[in-house]
Chains A and B, each alone.
Chain A
Amino acid sequence: MKFSIYRYNPEKDEKPYMKDYDVELQHTDRMLLDAILRIRSMDDSLGLRKSCREGVCGSDGMNINGRNGLACITPLKDLKEPVVLRPLPGLPVIRDLIVDMSQFFRQYHSVKPYLINDSPPPQKERLQSPEDREELNGLYECVLCACCSTSCPSFWWNPDKFLGPAALLQAYRFIADTRDEATSERLDNLDDPYRLFRCHTIMNCVDVCPKGLNPTNAIGKIKEQMVKRMV
């Protein structure tokens, strides 16, 4: 199978280039990551992140034939040859397919992605009704692979000011949580022409999310909560 992979080692290369590989696959190679690891067994200079190899850790997000996705859960049979692999767009490249995610995580950090509840904890746990728990479905599953944020043109343009779909989905995850007490403060911190309102409902995030989540819907719900609070 033919591959064309983005290569850049800032210590050696003056500028990035695409390197072609032709690799013989074994019958056990089903996902793109299997093929990449086979390539790496031929060329160990290829840099990439990976860990769980089953779409849970979110390490191997990359741009596959022009579309962001997780290599470990992308079936090889669905890919058109040559398979063009590039690092996630819009983030600084450290080496080959490895990008610097600091900006992404800074935005994530700024939404306080943890439960804020200053009431003394009850004897057992803080309970939720099944309906309230239902609201968290489609929010908590995010693995922070950055596929969505790095496919968002608004994030490409203002990565330091616009939170991006991943962080906004996480923001709504805690706004929607009935055990959280900081809802109003959270909404205050999102009410900003850049942080939230740079989303122009382009929906690339929904298109690429490897976990099938819908950040646009979550962003809409944040706006809905703000309107509800205002009127």
Chain B
Amino acid sequence: MVNRVVVGAHYGLRDWLIQRISALVMVAYVCALMLFFYWSAPLTYDSWKTVLSHPFVKIFTLLSIIALLLHAWVGVRDIFMDYVHPYPVRLMLQVIVILLLMMYALWAATLLWGM
């Protein structure tokens, strides 16, 4: 057996940090959303439209969606690493997921600013 020197892949910390920070952004957004539900009940199309027309709300919403997508990326990548062992298949799946997530981000942005 060849005894190869074991070293780290020199990445991983950033993904781990992204997952923690994006979680905090999402918690903040969910709390804000809960407050909105509480204060503006009953919810109507107009109340949604008013709150989402505010530029600060638009940016906060987009930021939370990006946080969600980044969070999902790290999680889904971890699942692929655990369960999809042939690396060409894994790479292909990862590329598909990256493209999908980027599409979702663009879609969310067009929804928020296109209304």
Contacts and interface: CB of A to CB of B under 8 A. Distances in A.
B16 interface: yes
A193 B12 contact: yes
A40 B28 CA distance: 60
A158 B82 contact: yes
A191 B6 CA distance: 12
Given A188-B7, A189-B7, A196 B12 contact: yes
Contacts of A191: 8-13
B81 A193 contact: yes
B6 A189 contact: yes
B17 interface: yes
Given A158-B82, A193-B81, A188 B8 contact: yes
Nearest to A195: B8
A110 B13 contact: no
Given A197-B16, A223-B16, A192 B10 contact: yes
- Interface size class for chain B? 10 to 19
B13 A226 contact: yes
Nearest to B5: A110
A194 interface: yes
A191 B11 CA distance: 6
A230 B14 CA distance: 9
A140 interface: no
Given A110-B6, A188-B7, A227-B17, A157 B82 contact: yes
Interface string A186-227: 001111111111000000000000000000000000010011
Contacts of A196: 8, 12
- Interface size class for chain A? 10 to 19
A202 to B, nearest CB: 14
A193 B15 CA distance: 8
Interface in B51-91: 78, 81-82
Nearest to A200: B78
A226 B14 CA distance: 10
A18 B15 CA distance: 44
Contacts of A157: 82
Interface in B1-47: 6-17
Contacts of B78: 193
Nearest to B81: A193
A197 B20 CA distance: 13
Interface of A: 110, 157-158, 188-197, 223, 226-227, 230
23 contacts: A110-B6, A157-B82, A158-B82, A189-B7, A189-B8, A191-B9, A191-B10, A191-B12, A192-B8, A192-B9, A192-B10, A193-B78, A193-B81, A195-B9, A195-B12, A196-B8, A197-B12, A197-B15, A197-B16, A226-B13, A227-B13, A230-B13, A230-B14
8 pairs of A and B residues whose beta carbons are closest in the complex: A192-B8, A110-B6, A193-B12, A197-B12, A192-B9, A191-B8, A189-B8, A226-B13
Given A192-B10, A193-B11, A195-B9, 20 more contacts: A157-B82, A189-B8, A191-B8, A191-B9, A191-B11, A191-B12, A192-B8, A192-B11, A193-B9, A193-B12, A193-B15, A195-B12, A196-B12, A197-B12, A197-B13, A223-B13, A223-B16, A227-B13, A227-B17, A230-B14
